[in-house]
A and B are shown apart, each in its own frame.
Chain A
Amino acid sequence: MANEVCFKNHHLDKPWTLQAYQSTGGYDVWKKILNKKTQADEIISELKTSCLRGRGGAGFPTGLKWSFMPRNAPGEKYIVCNSDEGEPGTFKDRDILRYNPHALIEGMAIAGYTMGASVGYNYIRGEFWEPYEHFETAVKEARAAGLLGKNILGSGIDFELYTHLGGGAYICGEETALLESIEGKKGQPRFKPPFPASYGLFGRPTTINNTETLASIPSILQNGGKWFLEIGKPNNGGAKLFSVSGHVNKPGNYEVPLGTPFAELLEMAGGMRDGNKIKAVIPGGSSTPMLPGDVMMDVNMDYDSIAKAGSMLGAGSVIVMDEKTCIVKALARISYFYYEESCGQCTPCREGTGWLSRVVNRIENGAGRPEDIDLLLDVSKKIEGRTICGLGDAAAMPVSGAIKHFRDEFQYHVDHKKCMVSAA
């Protein structure tokens, strides 16, 4: 079973058009809601049944998140979609924007209705010009068809949808940095509390969801929460997009039920390239701790199973590394990324990410010192849990993960001033 939710139009010609979308029942849910004035509680309860968990990385139950919004409070409220897609290894939202923008629009409109917001913003990363144009075209189509705007289809309901383009900053994927960025400022995360549901965009109650999360909404409401839950497994409802990259034959996005064995996913992605052996897998994007290949071969792709194996499903960004990969080099590149992308506001992250990056780099370059490996563990421990936002943790976790499973490679680098893999 594949391609049932966000990718369900994939087989159609020009799946991004309104016509294609509507041919599979697109906007039926939205129209029904407008027509019947469905109770918000009813929608939220359906989402709770579905066990949809946020697809942006943290996996927070969406139904619960929506229930936090003070939807009857007077004044404007906002629904914001996070299409910043910056975590290395992740490239699924780009395809939703390109191939199924209407599912996202419908999902956002429903979210707006449910949470009493009449304005939505889709934050698309600035480099995504083609996806942005696809999305904007779809918004125009929807508006022209009377599905967005004022008094939609005579229901008395308003929903306006705008795009904001990013400017190149990974941190803007963090939800409060993203809000700052829509407000035209540097993308520096806000300290929470207050949470966006009480003080969000422009100081108003706001809910932020990932592109895939929102694009899943119409299918869930069309087929029922139970249907969605049963695609996946308890507490891990539905199918999810997995972005598979690295040393595989057919890298790409695969929408499969949560709980699918990793081995099966690897199979779909064409198996290991050049017949090499699998060495390590980063299961959820570069911030999640890497796991040894043999561990992964016995793991199922869902939130709980991967957590049990010692990592995180994250955004479902699977980076596969074969036996020829130098783990130290891989970590050096990842650590450099978080150093480069730290927003610079809080001390442990601003100072610590550079420290980590420099030390890993030093080891990689053959200038490592005996105490460096423990220093890395110590510094990452001192960053973790002490920062304003999750970037600090994101920088720390891959370091401890890599050393935990591949300490011997680091040790070899330090001892021999060269790489174990290329030496072999």
Chain B
Amino acid sequence: MVNIEIDGKKLRVANGAMLIEAADEAGIKIPRFCYHKKLPIAANCRMCLVDVEKAAKPLPACATPVTDGMVIHTKSTKAIAAQKSVMEFLLINHPLDCPICDQGGECELQDVAIGYGDDVSRYSEKKRVVHNKNLGPLINTDMTRCIHCTRCVRFGEEIAGIKELGMTGRGEHAEIGTYVAKTVSSEMSGNVIDLCPVGALTSKPFRYSARAWELRQHETIAAHDCIGSNIFVHTRHEKIMRVVPKENESINETWISDRDRFSYEGLNSKDRLLTPLVKENGEWRETDWDIALRVVVEGLKDVVDNLGAASIGTLISPSATLEEMYLAQKLMRSLGCNNIDHRLRQQDFRDQDNAPVIPWLGQSIKDLEQVDAALLIGSNIRKDQPIAGHRIRKAAISGANIMVLNPVDYEFLFPVTEKIIVDPRRMSKELGAVAKALFELIGEPFPKGLTSLLQDVQPNGQHKAIAQHLKAANNGTILLGLSAHTHLDFSTLRALASLISDISKCTIGYLTDGANSPGGWLAGAVPHRNHKQEKITSDNLNASEMLRSNLKAFVLQGIEPEKDCANHSLAVNSIDQAEFVVGLSMYKSDSLLESANVLLPISPFTETSGTFVNIEGRWQSFQGAVSSAGDSRPTWKIWRVLGNLFNVDGFDYMSSEEIRDEVRSFSGNIIPKNKIEWQCPTALQNNMDGVVRIVDTSIYSIDPIVRRATALQQTADALTPAIHIGEELASRIGLMDSDQAIVRQGDGEVTLPVKIDYRLPAGSVLIPPCELGGTYLGHEYSEVKLEKI
């Protein structure tokens, strides 16, 4: 610690801190443009020049480290003169067109100019004009306004890890851009909009739609991954105009993913369901809530009375709120139905009784950047949970050994120490080899059953290296990602991962889908445990079993079964054959219109209050930002009314907070443990015939809202239906890039273009969820047949 004095204020600050940090901490405002606390220092704008006693020249506060006894004046004549002159220089080439600039009202340059600029420009030469660059569907450019602070460039280099923007040319001709027209591809690219202090980089979807001072700001939580980034939703006249990050050092710092920023476009989609609908004689009819709810109650009662409650299935989106999940299961269980699940993409439930109370990250999100080794199993962390990816990237940059075992060679923007990319059917074998290598390294005996399980598994150099790094780690972690969760052999992967975690002393963690899957477990939205964590032993079908049991009725909340369930054709067919289907939905999606009997319009997270429990176990409650669109209603209120209509006790909630507190009272003292007891899997999956399909629910098709976010759908990350295939396999089958081929899976059959994809190992193809002419393909990791046409 050193003693300094800024503007007469005596301060004690950390050694090595920059002047500007000390001033910020003390609430002393120094103007700045290039400095940003999350970016490396550039000191190029010179706006922060301050007067330091004993220094001949004014010094940039952002790049001057404090020293003991330093006396600083930020508002002396010398400092103000320096700041004013920089302001004058900045404005000579900057258009003074604030009234038509999208940044007007929230422009750092405008703000500072009011304090430091002189009214009359003495610059009478022609102003510089810079041509605009097309950076793709998300970011709009107006480069004449650029003040060359390079925040956007440094963001790409240092934070996103992908240098797409640069400064080309030199001197007055220096320009920020991509040089060639290019869509920026970072999944965090939208952050440059916030970083840009002027109106050079603005949001394309938001462009010209509102002025900053007309907007109202509401805090809420992002709803598309298990991170729970804190966001502000900006509204005007009850409409969401844009989303920006809300700083939270322990979760998203100052960033959000593009998905969280631009998904709001899906909220106002044209096919939004705005009134209750009932189907009569095959025809949909708009109706009011009374009638619609009565139809629901009668329909379900009918099934319960005649066929038993066990013939109803309830499938809930993993992004539903804690309150919604809780009330759904409370009502369904009170009717006698335990078939309730939010694990829609999971396929292997063999070990569910053994599963942790809440499968969670096992550490805090912030902790991820402190790991010194991480083994990612079946995870595209960069795209699946961009903020977690960013934390892992930080760890990697500071030297952590990041290792992956994946079915697709995802591009990570950080160094990967060991990478095993295999046919998905080999995943558990490879993990077994790591486990074996680790046991050999440590010299401990195998636990029960492992010897025979790993009999024909021989660790190679890579497995040994991974074992070595995990063993050497002081702060290692093993993370099971989305494609581990959807794997047919999930229980084996989990068992082995747990074992490895046990003997390597590395934390084990889960990265799940949806915004609230930890909440799903707490609320009892799983068939085999209720909200009190009591075991349910009979008549408890999981998501997959529900779809295979010819159930007579379904209640679907917030999902599109053909895209949100593991097995697309199975889901559609199974729901289609049911006699009574209730859809609580935001959208009039085709498959629901086809199969449902009643559709109840529900309000998305921006129009309702509720709670998401993120992957680190943090409960984050939020309020709606706008009122419910049309006749749609907050889902918790729908369940409440249904509870009353069914005459079930305990449904008289006045607020979502009341529901949340009730869940709290059950779960208050749960100490989540991730380790599971060792139960030796029966055998390692070893069926190697045929070509299997990987589904890889991409970043922009993970939930119904995102799928309707138009700008996101125009980016490179929006998967178009195609057969992604490795080069070797393609040439073996005689397929070439952009050929058309027929894919058959189960009884589904579609024709799709072929796309050579170097990330894929032989033996598998990647085909995103797709529907063509009403037919759907089957599930992830099962066999497909390809035929060239």
Segment from B23-31, B42-50, B188-196, B503-511 that makes contact with A: B42-50
Chain A minimum-CB-distance residue to B166:
A186
For B282, the chain A residues whose CB sits under 8 A away are: none
Chain B minimum-CB-distance residue to A371:
B122
Segment from B89-97, B231-239, B564-572 that makes contact with A: B89-97
Q: Is the CB of B85 within 8 A of A382?
A: yes
A375 touches B (CB below 8 Å): yes
Asked if A385 meets B171 with Cβ closer than 8 Å, knowing A345-B44, A351-B90, A375-B122, the reply is no
Q: How far is the CB of A292 from chain B (nearest CB, A)?
A: 28
B397 touches A (CB below 8 Å): no
For B170, the chain A residues whose CB sits under 8 A away are: 169, 171, 186, 341-344
For A375, the chain B residues whose CB sits under 8 A away are: 122
B384 touches A (CB below 8 Å): no
Q: How far is the CA of A343 from the CA of B167 in the complex (A)?
A: 11
Q: Is the CB of B171 within 8 A of A191?
A: no
Q: How far is the CB of A128 from chain B (nearest CB, A)?
A: 20
Chain B minimum-CB-distance residue to A359:
B125
Q: Is the CB of B85 within 8 A of A339?
A: no
For B93, the chain A residues whose CB sits under 8 A away are: 351
For B49, the chain A residues whose CB sits under 8 A away are: 386
Q: How far is the CA of A340 from the CA of B150 in the complex (A)?
A: 21
The interface size bin for chain B is: 35 or more
Q: How far is the CB of A385 from chain B (nearest CB, A)?
A: 4
Q: Is the CB of A382 within 8 A of B89?
A: yes
A265 touches B (CB below 8 Å): no
Interface residues in A371-422 by Cβ distance below 8 A to B read 375, 382, 385-388
The interface size bin for chain A is: 20 to 34
Q: How far is the CA of A348 from the CA of B173 in the complex (A)?
A: 14
Q: How far is the CA of A385 from the CA of B46 in the complex (A)?
A: 11
B58 touches A (CB below 8 Å): yes
Asked if A191 meets B63 with Cβ closer than 8 Å, knowing A342-B172, A344-B173, A347-B44, the reply is yes
Chain A minimum-CB-distance residue to B43:
A191
Interface residues in B341-378 by Cβ distance below 8 A to A read none
Q: How far is the CB of A58 from chain B (nearest CB, A)?
A: 15
Asked if A341 meets B171 with Cβ closer than 8 Å, knowing A346-B45, A382-B88, A385-B56, the reply is yes
For A388, the chain B residues whose CB sits under 8 A away are: 43-44, 46
Interface residues in A138-165 by Cβ distance below 8 A to B read none
For A348, the chain B residues whose CB sits under 8 A away are: 46, 85-86, 89
B446 touches A (CB below 8 Å): no
A352 touches B (CB below 8 Å): yes
For B44, the chain A residues whose CB sits under 8 A away are: 345-347, 388
Q: Is the CB of B46 within 8 A of A386?
A: yes
Q: How far is the CA of A388 from the CA of B42 in the complex (A)?
A: 10
A355 touches B (CB below 8 Å): yes
Chain B minimum-CB-distance residue to A392:
B46
For A344, the chain B residues whose CB sits under 8 A away are: 148, 167, 169-174
Q: How far is the CA of A318 from the CA of B583 in the complex (A)?
A: 87
A261 touches B (CB below 8 Å): no
Q: Is the CB of B148 within 8 A of A386?
A: no
Q: Which one of A193, A341, A350, A382 has the highest number of Cβ atoms from chain B below 10 Å of its Cβ? A: A350
Q: Is the CB of B174 within 8 A of A350?
A: yes
Listed from nearest, the 8 A-B pairs whose CB atoms lie closest are: A344-B174, A382-B85, A351-B89, A385-B57, A342-B171, A191-B43, A344-B171, A345-B44
Which residues of B come within 8 Å of A, CB atoms?
A: 41-47, 49, 56-58, 60, 63, 65, 82, 85-86, 88-90, 92-93, 122-123, 125, 147-148, 150, 167, 169-174
Which residues of A come within 8 Å of B, CB atoms?
A: 169, 171, 186, 191, 193, 339-348, 350-355, 358, 375, 382, 385-388
Knowing that A348-B46, A386-B58 are A-B contacts, what are 14 other residue pairs whose CB atoms are under 8 Å apart, sorted by A's residue number? A341-B170, A342-B171, A344-B167, A346-B45, A347-B44, A347-B89, A348-B86, A350-B89, A353-B172, A354-B172, A355-B123, A382-B89, A386-B57, A388-B43
